[in-house]
Amino acid sequence: MYCALRRPAVFRHRLLAIVHPPPPNSSRTINTTEQHGGNDNGKQTDWNLHRKVGITMALTGVLGLFVYKQSLTNDRNRVAGLNRLMPVVSAKTNSTSKRKDFNFIADAVELSAPAVVYLEIRDRQHVDFFTREPMTVSTGSGFIVESDGLILTNAHVVVSKPHTMVTVKLTDGRTFPGYVEHVDPASDLATVRVRCNNLPTLKLGHSADLRTGEWVVALGSPLSLNNTVTAGVISTTQRPSQELGLRGKDINYIQTDAAITFGNSGGPLVNLDGEAIGINSMKVTPGISFAIPIDHAKEFLRKINELPAGSDRHSATNAHTYRRYIGITMLTLTPEILSELQQRNHKFPSNVRGGVLVWKVIQGSPAYSGGLQPGDIIIQINGKEIKNSSDVYELLLEKDKKLSMTIYRGQQLITVHIFPEDTTV
């Protein structure tokens, strides 16, 4: 009945007219002369009335059911129309983790990290007072390129100080003595060998097709912190060595903003496919770092493979002999680098127009003993103005026993005295 009453008003009035019984005073008057037969007629009339009421109720139920079904159909159509007009917001959550889909840097590290090694350089002529072991003078990184133990690294990592020994630590914790096989000071590349087989290797990619803005990952052991990972983009694919003031080098470096510091040198710069596309070489300032393109390293390795067995470690490049040593790594301050440093560091001296930036000092070296520090800017040596790193090398060929260096340390102008060592690498 309730459903039937939901129809329009006329339909409701008709239903009520059928269901409502006639009032008592509306019945016809019965003749007294037909008194005897009136009871039967009255019973029949009551039965007919009940039958009509029952039929009416049944019809009403059928009509109500029909109206109810029709209203449900209309409601479904109305909801479907609203769904077409307005998007349905679902509270359903996706249980699948997004980490595997978007952690592309972690995927690259997973492929390349097992082949990265930690290099520790120790001085045989100086021992630790407590352990009586050779003192650690420098640390660096490298990566395995052949499964029989051939490691590629920077030359300045393994020959930065004479009378040293190299210790190689793998990612699984094993430690081996390393033997320097070949050195190329011109390209700052070297190979170290460990006596171990079945080692994980790092695939060498291609640096010729790199793009500016491409994601890269730097791996190594900065500040002796093993297995450190940093990421950034390629700032410039080809930065000529002349712009960096590097003497005797014909390399277009890869510039990146991936964080590189002391100890990262020699470690790989990899792309998102886990391939080595560069060898981390130097940091100028946070956000400006350089790597040697892997194509130069491939050429270096090719020359090594063409050498006869038992060749001298310097024979691949005809490297000259170093006779005077102070123990620093330098970078010429070109106008471009000076401008970048002055923009990034408000404490950088504004009156500096040239010189050499000291970006690494070997522990225990003459420069270290004389008080030279990373970040110092050398502007004069023994009264001679220093414009580039070549000026420093020329002074090291002279016989002066003492080098009086005028440097900027921050905005303070000071002088340090260094006594170079006469030695042969």
CA nearest neighbour of 290 among 225, 344, 337, 343: 337
Helices 35-85 and 9-19, packing angle to 10 deg: 150
Determine whether 346 is an active site residue: no
Which positions ≥6 away from 21 have C-beta within 8 Å? Answer: 49, 53
174: its two tokens: 């094993």
Active-site residue among 187, 265, 281, 365?
265
Instruction: In whole angstroms, give the CA distance from residue 264 to residue 241.
Output: 20
DSSP assignment of 2-30: TTGGGS-HHHHHHHHHHHSPPPGGGSPPP
Instruction: In whole angstroms, give the CA distance from residue 320 to residue 305.
Output: 21
CA nearest neighbour of 337 among 360, 356, 316, 319: 356
Determine whether 188 is an active site residue: yes
Active-site residue among 123, 138, 156, 160?
156
Active-site residue among 188, 295, 376, 391?
188
* Sign of the Cα pseudo-torsion (108, 111, 114, 117, in order): negative
CA nearest neighbour of 281 among 185, 355, 164: 185
Identity of the residue numbered 168 = V
Instruction: In whole angstroms, give the CA distance from residue 265 to residue 287.
Output: 16
Classify residue 383 by burial, with Cβ atoms within 10 Å: 0-12, 13-18, 19+: exposed
* CB distance 291 to 278 below 8 Å: yes
Active-site residue list: 156, 188, 265
